[in-house]
A and B are shown apart, each in its own frame.
Chain A
Amino acid sequence: MRQSILPVLTVVGFLLVLWYAAAIWLNAAWAYDKASRTDEVLTTRTLIADTWSQEKPKLPAPHQVATEIWQTTVEKKITSKRSLIYHSWVTLSATLLGFGLGTVLGTLLAVGIVFNRTMDMSVMPWVIASQTIPILAIAPMIIVVLNAIGISGLLPKAMISMYLSFFPVVVGMVKGLRSPDQMQLDQMRTWHASGSQTFWKLRLPASMPYFFTSLKIAMAASLVGAIVGELPTGAIAGLGARLLAGSYYGQTIQIWSALIMAAVLAATLVGIIGAIQKLTLRRMGMAQ
């Protein structure tokens, strides 16, 4: 762990330098344009200063995004419509609801698939096929249709999150519930364990590492689902709405700050699951 801090910092630093350089390169055209209209002559120094401080740059510099995030999180009231925390909360609630539903659905399906041969043969291929369908593409339709029958607000977005997040859980849990080898299953049989005892005492505990790994993937997918689910709602609230509004009005700084916020959210959520995973597996004596 410790030995990878320096390389990671180097890569991140390199990316930041690249970002600043790209900002100069992409924003230079507009800076020259502005200067030629006011008959100014741009030196290298003023050119760079201008490209890093434009109001609607093609690519905002990192410090501009950082300032915007600071202003919209710390300096605004949480209840304000312009507070990024408010929008993050809207997205987060849909994400968590969808994630919860997806996890429950995925686990139930996995249990059914492991215990019922018919279900294994008929449902499993469709579970896999369902993911080759670009579901995000029909997100607008799901939202509109559910709105038409009177379901609006949190649930439609959560449905999209659920659809995206149940798949990793099914695949991971099927693998996990089948991970005990024949020897262990035979051992349960010699103890005259019933099907449910085998499930609760052997299969379920054995599946835990797989469970947490798929939860991490499901969480990331769920957040993507919630963000895309917000696009067609008319840009009212949520990080997805901020993205859409930003792209309508050319507010690039706003887009980037929403994007960074989404990244922070994803990293935090996945990190929390990782911490729970470590704790649980250590308590169960399964930590590597």
Chain B
Amino acid sequence: MMWLLLGLAIWIAGWMLNVRLASLPRTRMRALAVPVIFGVTLIAVWECVVRGFAISRVLLPAPSAIAARFAGSLDILWVDFVQTVLKGALTGYVIGCGAAFLIAVAIDRFPFLQRGLLPVGNFVAALPIIGMAPILVMWFGFDWQSKAAVVVVMVFFPMLVNTVQGLQATDAMQRDLMRTYAAGYWRTLLKLRLPAAMPFIFNGLKIGTTLALIGAIVAEFFGSPVKGMGFRISTSVGQLALDLVWAEIVVAAIAGSAFYGAMALAERSVTFWHPSQRK
């Protein structure tokens, strides 16, 4: 009972603090502090609720238990991280995005192909591609190569569609200007059309970050060596070691956010001229 009251008190205190902070003029510090306070409040309330209701640890472990498990099994988590994120997701991401980019630039020269490929690409991008996972695991074996293949297929179409759209983002006036400068196809591509396509390309890259992690992890449910985040999650669920599952989720969350954040930072430095990036 005490824990529940404490949780309620923390929730009210955190929310009041945020209301106060949000009503003050917006600064960079406050824009950062408010969500952080909200997150910390949520975790504290979670801890209190788990303790207050004495929820069994096989249902929902408390944040403190997860943190202890996280610190206690760093070696396992690191091995899984290397196997799934660095080998599976990152390799597939680079290959998939690279191939999609090159193909997009190639078909950009043929309007006929473009008109045919965009609807098909849009269609495929909406499909449950993750279903390809069992087939690719069958083709490429259980190790990280098959995970990378799943990731390639998953990131390919969003990236392709975005790049093709981005390459069309210049208007006739700008292209005419390049022509008056006597710029050829390649120079126009490098100096005008690729930079103009960057916001779209980064959109595709950012969508790809989450898809890559999801693809790599889910593909491990269909067969994997005895390491990897997807393998650990599915076996630990079977052993009811939910604190280890949550520790893996924390790793996945950190990896996903860092991956996305890295892309967002790169976007900011490349497309600093775009209205959405101006301050």
Chain A residues near B (Cβ < 8 Å)? 3-4, 6-12, 15, 26, 58, 117-118, 120-126, 129, 131-138, 140-141, 144-145, 148-149, 216-217, 220, 223-224, 227-228, 231-232, 239-240, 243-244, 246-247, 250, 252, 255-256, 258-259, 262-263, 266-267, 270
Contacts and interface: CB of A to CB of B under 8 A. Distances in A.
Q: How large is the interface on B (under 10, 10 to 19, 20 to 34, 35 or more residues)?
A: 35 or more
A136 B222 CA distance: 14
Nearest to B220: A137
A141 B245 contact: yes
B210 A58 contact: no
A117 B217 CA distance: 36
Contact of A138 (B116, B132, B138, B249): B249
B22 A117 contact: yes
B177 interface: no
B238 to A, nearest CB: 8
A26 B138 CA distance: 12
Given A132-B257, A145-B60, A122 B242 contact: no
Nearest to B41: A122
B134 A137 contact: no
A15 B117 CA distance: 11
A48 B213 CA distance: 38
Contact of B242 (A26, A120, A126, A141): A141
Interface of B: 15, 18-19, 21-23, 30-31, 34-35, 37-39, 58-60, 112-117, 119-120, 123, 126-128, 130-135, 137-139, 209-210, 213-214, 217-218, 221-223, 229-230, 233-234, 237, 242, 245, 248-249, 252-253, 256-257, 259-260
Query: Would you call the interface of chain A mostly helix, strand, loop, or mixed?
Result: helix
Nearest to B126: A220
A124 B213 CA distance: 22
Contacts of B253: 129, 132-133
B130 A134 contact: no
Contacts of B37: 122
A138 B37 CA distance: 25
Contacts of B39: 126
Nearest to A135: B214
Given A117-B22, A122-B18, A132-B209, A263 B116 contact: no
A122 B221 contact: no
Contact of A136 (B58, B119, B137, B217): B217
A137 B210 CA distance: 11
B126 A266 contact: yes
